[in-house]
Amino acid sequence: MKIYDITRTLSPSIAIYPGNPPVEFEVFEGETSTHTKVSFGTHTGTHIDAPRHVFKDGKGVDHIPLDILCGECRVLDLRAVKESIKIQDLEPYHIQKGERILVRTKNSDNDFKKFTSEYIYLDGDASDWLAEKEIVLFGIDYLSIKKRGGNDHRPHTSLLEKDIIIFEGLDLRSIEEGDYMFVGLPLKLQGLDGSPVRAILMQK
Query: CA angle, 75 as apex, 72 and 78 as ends, to 5°?
Result: 160
| Contact indicator for 141, 170 with CB cutoff of 8 Å | yes
Active site residue 63: no
* Beta carbons within 10 angstroms of residue 194's beta carbon: 22
Active-site residue identified among 35, 53, 94, 153 = 53
SS3 185: strand
**Residue 183, C-beta contacts closer than 8 angstroms, at least 6 positions apart:** 69, 70, 199, 200, 201, 202
Catalytic residues: 53
